[in-house]
């Protein structure tokens, strides 16, 4: 999600095409949030406040929890257009829930509308020390409303970032009205992304170095809806607001 330019060299496939499935055999559940109760669990999550344009030329202002709700066992992040501004929510687990390797899964419904840019992703916890893209970025799910139904899963590192060369794209049905499972298996050797248990993209450099593998350290989770920006596009359909991303649960497994 950070500092992207919208050019893609990608693998495009249909979910029904891949015969691979993801298994948690050999792993154990180490953390989960089922979003029970009536408020965000602040022992695990932070609300990130940001001004418009802070990253990626995005248009929204991230509020201090006003666009984030926990209700009926679901996390709801809502993007709005009101009082001549776009507002949205961005939460992360920085400093509270950080992980090195494992399987990460989320079950979510996505917001619809041209100009929306929701993401479920991870960022290297040392981002303040080394900067981006040296910290590394793992985009488990990104979607842009101008390309309805297409899910992007991407790797960002110093060897490939602005042009997003390490990307898989899959078209799925009903991402806005039905829940889908977006997941990633991350080991010391490889990173593989899945949608509904089907393999979308696999990353495994033959020879690892600091430029292609900043993925041997803690990362934290980020959930957000951006509006516009480098990937979301310059056109925004204001008729789609309010629109929300609903997350049923997030789970992390490790060996």
Does residue 244 surpass a pLDDT of 70?
yes
What's the angle, vertex CA 190, arms to CA 188 and CA 196, rounded to 5? 125
Q: What is the mean pLDDT of residues 210-235?
A: 98
Per domain, the residue ranges of the chain are 28-254
Cβ atoms 35, 249 nearer than 8 A: yes
> How far is Cα 5 from Cα 233, in angstroms, rounded to an integer?
10
Compute the average pLDDT of residues 143-166: 94
In this model, does residue 234 exceed pLDDT 50? yes
Mean pLDDT over the full length of the chain = 92
pLDDT at position 171: 98
Q: How many CB atoms lie within 10 A of CB 241?
A: 21
Closest alpha carbon to 8 in 134, 204, 167: 167
The owner of tokens 């430029």 is: 211
How do residues 5-24 score in pLDDT, each as one tens digit? 333 334 444 333 333 457 89
What's the confidence (pLDDT) of residue 17? 35
Residue of 105, 91, 35 lying closest to 254 (CA atoms): 105
29 Cβ contact partners less than 8 Å away, ≥ 6 residues apart: 251, 252, 253
Query: Mean pLDDT, to the nearest integer, of 120-128?
Result: 98
Sign, CA dihedral 152-96-249-213, equals positive
Name the pTM for this structure.
0.92
Tell me which residues are annotated as active site. Answer: 137, 142
Residues 47-63 have a mean pLDDT of 98
Domain 28-254, CATH: 2.60.120.200
pLDDT, tens digit (0-9, with 9 covering 90-100), for 79-113: 999 999 999 999 999 999 999 999 999 999 999 99
């Amino acid at each position: 999600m950070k500092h992207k330019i919208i050019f893609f060299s990608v693998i495009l496939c249909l979910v029904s095409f891949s015969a691979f499935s993801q298994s948690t055999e050999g792993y154990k559940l180490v953390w989960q949030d089922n979003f029970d109760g009536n408020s965000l669990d602040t022992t695990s999550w932070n609300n990130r406040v940001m001004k418009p344009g802070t990253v990626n030329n995005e248009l929204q202002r991230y509020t201090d929890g006003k666009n984030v709700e926990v209700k009926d066992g679901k996390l709801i992040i809502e993007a709005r257009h009101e009082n001549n501004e776009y507002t949205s929510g961005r939460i992360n687990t920085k400093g509270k829930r950080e992980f090195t390797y494992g399987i990460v899964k989320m079950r979510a419904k996505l917001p619809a509308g041209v100009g929306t840019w929701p993401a479920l992703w991870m960022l290297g916890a040392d981002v303040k020390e080394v900067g981006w893209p040296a910290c590394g970025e793992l985009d488990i799910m990104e979607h842009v409303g101008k390309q309805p139904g297409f899910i992007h899963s991407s790797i960002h590192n110093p060897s490939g970032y602005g042009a997003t060369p390490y990307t898989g794209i899959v078209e799925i049905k009903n991402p806005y009205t039905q829940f889908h499972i977006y997941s990633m298996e991350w080991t010391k050797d490889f990173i593989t992304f899945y949608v509904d248990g089907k393999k979308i993209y696999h990353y495994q450099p033959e020879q690892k170095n600091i430029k292609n593998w900043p993925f041997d350290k803690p990362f934290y989770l980020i959930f957000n809806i951006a509006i516009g920006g480098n990937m979301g596009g310059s056109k925004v359909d204001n008729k789609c607001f309010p629109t929300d991303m609903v997350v049923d649960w997030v789970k992390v497994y490790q060996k």
